[in-house]
Structure formats: structure tokens, C-alpha cells
């Protein structure tokens, strides 16, 4: 997906014209961020922020669909989550606890302007900045999706009474 995001930002003029023809001339998620950014850096183009918003919606759709389909087919995750859950219980929860603030920091441009390197990247290489943000948000949403699926598995498969979990040898459990 990072390569797809990079291609989207390379062809942002074409995408901007297509969005204008479709009468998509507004922002839903990033309106406040664009207003703040355009006041600080007048060279930032609206179409770049629009493409970033498209990448965010695309990421939400991909990982949301994975979460929904994973919740529908929880049994297929028994072996993976059983091996993952035992030795690394805290790692899954720590990843979720760390990822949510990271996504917040990525979306809060006031914090981004505090970092000199981030500001320079925004000012001189805005496409690289937007590709980086899109990629980090994509993988951050993947971590959140995987952790929510793990929590769902723990609630509805591992700790649910009467559920038979996966095992290597069915003869082991007397079956």
C-alpha cells in the first residue's frame, strides 16, 4: 500500500481534477487540519490533503473489512492467537495502547509543527510528508484492527464457555 499511496500523490493533479468533476471539493476528516496547515504554509495544496483523506478512508475500509470478516470467522484464528496469546500477553495490549496516541499525534498538526524536521519535511517535501503520514496511518490502523480482532477472539472464543479451541492432535482431547 505505501507504493499505491506514493502513486496517488504522484498523480495528485489528475486525481484533483477527477475529484473536482465528481464535485468532491470538501474535506470530511481533515478540514481543521487543512485550515491550520494552509495558514502556516501557504504552499500546501488542497488536493494533497484531499488525497491524504482518500488514503485514510481507503485504510479504514481495508482494515475495517478485515476486522468484520475476521470477527465472522474467528475460529480460523484459534491456532495463531493461542500461540500468540500465551507468551506475549502484554505485547498485544501494549501495541494497542501505543498505537492510538501515535495516530493522534499524526493527526494533530500543531504537534507536528513543533518538530523541526517534520516542519521542514512539510515545507520542502509535502508529497513525501503526506506519503509518510498515509503509510503510518495505514499500518497504525492495521495494528488497531489486529488487536481488536485479538480481543474479540479472547472474549468470544478463548473465554467463551463450551467452545472447543484448535489443537494439534484431536486424540489428545479424547476425540
pLDDT (tens digit per residue) in 62-115: 999 999 998 888 878 777 777 766 665 666 677 777 887 888 777 777 777 777
Domain tally for the chain?
Answer: 1
Contact predicate 50/132, CB 8 Å: no
| 175 within some domain | no
From CA 72, how far away is CA 148, in angstroms rounded?
A: 13
Closest of 174, 155, 175 to residue 74, by C-alpha: 155
Residue 123, in any domain of the structure: yes
What's the half-sphere exposure (Cβ side, CA atoms, 13 Å) at 36?
12
Report pLDDT digits (tens) over 41-65.
Answer: 888 888 888 888 889 999 999 999 9
Whether residue 168 lies inside any domain: the answer is no
Domain that holds residue 33: 2-72+87-156
Which value, to the nearest 10 degrees, does the dihedral of the CA atoms of residues 9, 4, 66, 138 take? -50
Residue 77 CA: distances (Å) to CA of 69, 73, 140: 12, 8, 21
pTM to 2 decimals? 0.79
Amino acid at each position: 500500500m505505501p507504493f499505491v499511496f506514493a502513486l496517488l500523490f504522484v498523480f495528485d493533479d489528475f486525481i484533483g481534477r477527477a475529484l473536482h468533476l465528481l464535485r468532491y471539493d470538501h474535506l470530511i476528516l481533515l478540514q481543521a487540519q487543512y485550515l491550520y496547515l494552509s495558514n502556516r504554509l501557504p504552499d500546501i495544496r488542497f488536493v494533497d490533503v484531499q488525497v491524504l483523506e482518500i488514503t485514510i478512508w481507503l485504510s479504514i475500509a481495508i482494515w475495517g473489512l478485515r476486522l468484520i470478516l475476521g470477527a465472522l470467522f474467528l475460529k480460523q484464528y484459534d491456532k495463531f492467537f493461542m500461540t500468540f496469546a500465551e507468551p506475549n500477553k502484554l505485547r498485544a495490549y501494549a501495541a494497542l495502547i501505543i498505537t492510538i496516541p501515535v495516530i493522534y499525534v499524526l493527526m494533530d498538526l500543531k504537534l507536528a509543527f513543533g518538530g523541526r524536521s517534520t516542519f521542514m519535511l512539510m515545507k520542502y517535501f509535502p508529497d513525501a510528508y503526506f506519503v509518510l503520514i498515509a503509510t503510518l496511518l495505514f499500518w497504525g490502523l492495521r495494528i488497531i484492527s489486529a488487536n481488536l480482532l485479538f480481543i474479540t477472539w479472547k472474549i468470544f472464543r478463548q473465554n467463551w464457555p463450551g467452545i472447543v479451541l484448535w489443537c494439534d492432535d484431536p486424540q489428545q482431547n479424547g476425540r
